[in-house]
Amino acid sequence: MQTLTVGLGTRSYPIHIGSGLLDRAELMQQHVPHGRVAIVTNTTIAPLYLERLQRSLRSIDTSSVSVILPDGEEYKNSETLNLVYDALLKNRCERTTPLIALGGGVIGDMTGYAAATYLRGVPYIQVPTTLLAQVDSSVGGKTGINHPLGKNMIGAFYQPKMVLADTDTLNTLPDNELAAGIAEVIKYGLIRDLEFLEWLEQNMDKLLARDTAALQYAIERSCRNKAEVVAADERESGERALLNLGHTFGHAIESGMGYGNWLHGEGVAAGTIMAADLSQRMGWLGVEQVARIRRLFERAGLPVTGPDLGVEKYFELMGLDKKVEGGRMRFVLLKEVGRAVVQADVPQQLLRQTIQACAHG
């Protein structure tokens, strides 16, 4: 087991990464003062891992209430959230009853948001079971739900007490979800860790073959990058925005295609190519560098063109981005491979060209 720390003063917390951690509930013990937790999971994960986690919890004399939600981004909304609140209230969960998010990014985001808002805030623990959640969404306290008009529009910054990433759970992950997670892994390389990007170029085949050591390394290095960024800028007033490389385009794709039709990581992959293309039009990247980035995503089996929503629809959806300020869209672009920046003044014409060039899938 590897342990990293997200350094946030009194709200600092550990990320444990390793094999078999689902069986090690004793790691959570200090956060369960009354021997009772509420596990939030979904219909896909429950048959695979719920009983195992419950057994593990019983070994520390902890009983659990379970809330099993439908699986998919299309359920990351206020109706599903209300199912969580209803279950917590009916089971008399208290201010000291921790929630445990057992699942991927959707479960983690919704459980974290439920924890942020139930009784004005209860503790929660992330137990991510997808690569995307293990390398990105379970770390850093971004929680929330989607709104019909935009992704993650309703939410809170609310940090977990702990992240417990059992890498064994990746054995049951479908290939497309593994690839979706790799999109976020590549992101760290592109925005701030060139050495890691080069490692990914050399080890992509191992990751796709689910080589244990390679996956473990990629998760740990991704989490280290994420933890550093979050510790420096928890509420995204600066550097943290860079983690959104590809996300302005990607969220537009996800929302424009209807939640659940593109995986988040797939939207991020196509969105990152669009951001790279735009960076090239800004004169920052060369054509060969954009090609290099595209090649890496292609090797992971990820989409490298966006769907043809039409330029105006892209503009409309991106205008709702959380980074918009004073009516101006702001984009995360690449100054070079391995270094991202936030850019407010992107000529509309270049943006139009990028959408026309990259969104015809």
- The answer to whether 206 touches 214, Cβ cutoff 8 Å, is yes
- Joined together, the tokens standing for residue 335 give 């100054």
- Which residue among the candidates 36, 264, 281, 294 is catalytic per the annotation? 264
Task: Please confirm, yes or no, whether 226 is among the known catalytic residues.
Answer: yes
Which is nearest to 13 in space by CA: 236, 169, 164? 164
Nearer to a copy of itself among residue 114 and residue 302 (C-beta): 114
Q: How far is CA 251 from CA 31, 57, 153, 265, in A?
A: 34, 37, 11, 10
Shortest CB 77 distance to a copy of itself, Å: 10
Eight-class DSSP state of 104: S
Task: Please confirm, yes or no, whether 184 is among the known catalytic residues.
Answer: yes
Shortest CB 314 distance to a copy of itself, Å: 16
Beta bridge partners of 128: 103
Residues between 315 and 334 with contacts to a copy of itself, criterion CB under 8 A: 319-320, 322-327
Backbone angles phi, psi at 214, to 5 degrees: -65, -45
Among the listed residues 8, 119, 194, 350, the single contact to a copy of itself using CB under 8 A: 119
Amino acid letter for position 28: M
Task: Please confirm, yes or no, whether 264 is among the known catalytic residues.
Answer: yes
Task: Please confirm, yes or no, whether 244 is among the known catalytic residues.
Answer: yes
118 binds a copy of itself (CB under 8 A): yes
Here's the x/- map for a copy of itself, 269-308, by CB under 8 A: it reads as ----------------------------------------
58 binds a copy of itself (CB under 8 A): no
Question: Residue 42 contacts by C-beta under 8 Å, 6 or more apart in sequence?
Answer: 68, 69, 70, 71, 103, 106, 107
Q: How far apart are CA 62 and CA 237, in angstroms?
A: 39
153 binds a copy of itself (CB under 8 A): yes
Among the listed residues 55, 61, 89, 205, the single contact to a copy of itself using CB under 8 A: 89
Q: How far apart are CA 237 and CA 273, in angstroms?
A: 25
- The answer to whether 5 touches 13, Cβ cutoff 8 Å, is yes
241 binds a copy of itself (CB under 8 A): no
Which amino acids are annotated catalytic?
120, 142, 184, 226, 236, 240, 244, 247, 251, 264
Which residues of the chain form contacts with a copy of itself (CB under 8 A)?
33-34, 78, 82, 85-86, 89-90, 92, 94-96, 116-121, 142-144, 147, 149-150, 152-157, 235, 319-320, 322-327
